[in-house]
């Protein structure tokens, strides 16, 4: 059972284009009238606030140095509201002032940093960055105006977007992850990964900018709800202790931390959200394609600093899906310093697209083959299938085909034991809850069984517990169906069908009967028993290799045809019989389990054939 705790931090969010015009109203809504405006990109905000602005502090700085905060603090006299405009540095300064003064803050983000939706504040003092978490730090209102991001340089847009993606990635493997956070994070990853290339190619594309900003908002919701992992720890150390730029550092480090955590179940989900085969390599390739910095060396970090950074990152325990060690973190930092592409599976999407595009002709056939190819290629990629494994699969399928004869269908047996036959049966024949449930045909049906009258003994003296079977066939209104053709077949007491016993002459324990004017028929036979499906071939090898037994629950087979009615293929199972809960071909349905004594009665309900 899943257990979790989730705290939603209440901020009023206004999202859209041109929303900056509502900034003054939002200040008034908080009961404020004297604003300290923070940030160096405040021109349009000054106009929007008008006379509400009584002071302006433009000198924000990365990593929120306490000396800058002290300078800004001297400007808060007589102020009743803080408005921060810009990236994470402006929002961070607003939080630092709010923490010291208790003043309400309104955040107007112009990048994709995400700090505006979190109760987290990172401050730097004496070359060390520390982090605090307090719900009081969350801005009261966040105004997202997509138009404010149009002037953001492409390079900063890319690194800021990758910084936002890091929030979503680490949220997915956080100890506090929960369904809400997962949904936000996966949506954020999908939006950011698809929007960044468009923004890079067309910086003025408002829709792409909106998609990217919405993705950053979702990612910041994750950042505010859970603890981050080693990626954020490393970036805080590299920024606070070594002076590296914030967004660029996140962009460089992210794919290498993802590769370190590649065994996390979150990675395939991230890859699926991005539409790629390998998430760490895809994030690196995205950064490279969009011109983001790829190495810590290019950001100015000296190789001699790597050991110290790794030691700082592992000085205290930190949540991470893979255990952390100084050597492991040192390896991650080394790869990031050199800017090496994480080893990952090649992308085979182009090949899949080529194959699917080759199918023409009948539209339904092309659709089925195209979907099959996409799923098979996805299986190959998701499981990193080796050549030896694929050769083994080809050999298995070849031997399965070679095992087929006129009296044994190994491929049907394979379909049955993988549940495919039951799945197709459910989709095809179980759309009406009023008809008798269907069941799989099985590999031992033989066309044209001998026709016999009601009352015939199908056992013909074979050993076994005698059984009388009375059947009535009706339509959905309960009216009898006359002249219905009913094929029945079963195994003998030892679990063999007649086609498996070459010493027998002619069909045994199988026949064709017809219903009378009241829709009735009956026959004598022997009570069915559990039996193993043939397991001397490839299917049996597969069952043994996966720890499965080959037994079927005891049952009788029926195939019923009548003019104007849908064909019914089904089975009746012995109540209390063995393997009802682990039938080898997954054919048991509760409504088909019947009490068998020395006789059994059952009414089959047929649905109309609308074909």
Residues in the chain: 611
Do 223 and 167 meet the contact criterion of CB atoms below 8 Å apart? yes
Q: Which is catalytic among the residues 246, 527, 552, 605?
A: 552
12-149 maps to which CATH number?
3.40.50.1970
Specify whether 520 is catalytic.
no
* pLDDT number for residue 1: 61
Residues 92-133 have pLDDT tens digits of 999 999 999 999 999 999 999 888 998 889 898 887 878 888
Specify whether 497 is catalytic.
yes
* pLDDT number for residue 572: 96
Specify whether 260 is catalytic.
no
**pTM of the complete model:** 0.63
Q: Which is catalytic among the residues 497, 510, 566, 605?
A: 497
* pLDDT number for residue 315: 85
* pLDDT number for residue 191: 97
* pLDDT number for residue 70: 94
**CA of 436: how far to CAs of 261, 511, 606, in Å?**
51, 21, 7
* pLDDT number for residue 443: 80
Specify whether 531 is catalytic.
yes
Select from 533, 441, 532, 531 the least CA-distant residue to 487: 441
Q: Which is catalytic among the residues 144, 173, 531, 551?
A: 531
Asked whether the domain spanning 416-605 has the same topology as the one spanning 154-338, the reply is no
Give the burial class of 170: count Cβ atoms within 10 A of its Cβ; 0-12 exposed, 13-18 middle, 19 or more buried: buried
Residues 369-386 have pLDDT tens digits of 999 999 999 888 878 788
Distance CA 174, CA 5 (A): 12
User: Which residues of the chain fall short of a pLDDT of 50?
Assistant: none
Specify whether 44 is catalytic.
no
b/e string for 225-236 if b means 16 or more Cβ within 10 A? bbbbbbbbbbbb
**CA of 276: how far to CAs of 28, 189, 200, 208, 377, in Å?**
47, 12, 20, 20, 12
Query: What is the side-by-side order of every strand in the sheet holding 485-489?
Result: 510-514, 485-489, 555-561, 568-574, 593-594
Fold observed for domain 154-338: Dehydroquinate synthase-like, alpha domain (1.20.1090)
Distance CA 166, CA 175 (A): 16
Domain ranges of the chain: 12-149, 154-338, 349-400, 416-605
Fold observed for domain 416-605: Protocatechuate 3,4-Dioxygenase, subunit A (2.60.130)
Distance CA 104, CA 99 (A): 10
* pLDDT number for residue 431: 63
Q: Which is catalytic among the residues 557, 566, 579, 605?
A: 557
């Amino acid at each position: 059972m899943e257990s979790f705790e989730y705290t939603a931090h209440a901020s009023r969010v206004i999202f859209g284009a041109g929303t900056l015009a509502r900034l003054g109203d939002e200040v008034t809504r908080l009961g404020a009238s004297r604003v300290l405006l923070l940030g160096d990109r405040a021109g349009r905000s000054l106009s929007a606030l008008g006379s509400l602005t009584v002071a302006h502090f433009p000198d924000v700085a990365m990593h929120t140095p306490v000396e800058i905060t002290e300078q800004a603090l001297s400007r808060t006299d007589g102020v009743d509201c803080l408005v921060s405009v810009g990236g994470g540095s402006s929002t961070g300064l607003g939080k630092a002032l709010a923490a010291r003064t208790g003043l309400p803050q309104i955040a107007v983000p112009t990048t994709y940093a995400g700090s505006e939706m979190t109760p987290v504040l990172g401050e730097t003092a004496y070359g060390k960055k520390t982090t605090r978490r307090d719900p009081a730090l969350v801005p009261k209102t966040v105004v997202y105006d997509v138009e404010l991001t149009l002037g953001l340089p492409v390079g900063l847009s890319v690194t800021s977007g990758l910084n936002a993606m890091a929030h979503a990635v680490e949220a997915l493997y956080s100890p506090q992850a929960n369904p809400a956070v997962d949904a936000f994070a996966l949506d954020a990853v999908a939006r950011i990964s698809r929007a960044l290339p468009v923004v890079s190619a067309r910086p003025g594309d408002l829709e792409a900018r909106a998609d990217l900003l919405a993705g950053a908002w979702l990612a910041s919701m994750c950042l505010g709800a859970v603890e981050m992992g080693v990626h954020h720890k490393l970036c805080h150390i590299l920024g606070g202790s070594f002076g590296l730029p914030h967004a660029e550092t996140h962009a460089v480090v992210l794919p290498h931390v993802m590769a370190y955590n590649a065994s996390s179940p979150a990675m395939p989900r991230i890859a699926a959200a991005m539409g790629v085969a390998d998430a760490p390599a895809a994030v690196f390739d995205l950064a490279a394609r969009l011109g983001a910095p790829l190495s810590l060396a290019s950001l100015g970090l000296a190789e001699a600093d790597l050991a110290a950074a790794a030691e700082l990152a592992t000085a205290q325990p930190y949540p991470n899906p893979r255990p952390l060690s100084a050597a492991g973190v040192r390896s991650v930092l080394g790869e990031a310093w050199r800017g090496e592409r994480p080893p990952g599976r090649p992308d085979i999407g182009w090949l899949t697209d080529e194959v699917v595009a080759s199918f023409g002709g009948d539209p339904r056939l092309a659709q089925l083959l195209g979907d099959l190819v996409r799923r098979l290629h996805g299986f190959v990629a998701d499981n990193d299938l080796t050549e030896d494994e694929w050769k083994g699969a080809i050999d298995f399928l070849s031997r399965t085909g070679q095992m087929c004869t006129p009296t044994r269908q190994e491929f049907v047996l394979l379909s049955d034991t993988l549940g495919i036959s039951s799945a197709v049966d459910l989709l095809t024949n179980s759309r009406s809850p009023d008809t008798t449930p269907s069941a799989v045909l099985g590999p031992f049906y033989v066309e044209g069984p001998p026709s016999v009258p009601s009352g015939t003994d199908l056992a013909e003296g074979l050993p076994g517990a005698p059984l009388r079977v009375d059947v009535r066939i009706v339509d959905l209104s309960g009216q009898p169906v006359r002249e219905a053709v009913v094929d029945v077949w079963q195994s003998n007491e030892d679990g063999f069908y007649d086609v498996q016993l070459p010493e027998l002459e002619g069909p045994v324990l199988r026949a064709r009967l017809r219903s009378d004017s009241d829709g009735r028929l009956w026959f004598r036979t022997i009570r069915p028993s559990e039996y193993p499906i043939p397991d001397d071939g490839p299917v049996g090898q597969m069952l043994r290799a996966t720890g499965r037994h080959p037994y079927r629950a005891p049952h009788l087979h029926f195939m019923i045809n009548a003019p104007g009615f849908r064909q019914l293929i089904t089975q009746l199972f012995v109540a209390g019989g063995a393997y009802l809960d682990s039938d080898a071909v997954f054919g048991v349905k509760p409504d088909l389990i019947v009490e068998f004594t020395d006789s059994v009665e059952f009414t089959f309900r047929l649905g109309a054939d609308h074909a």
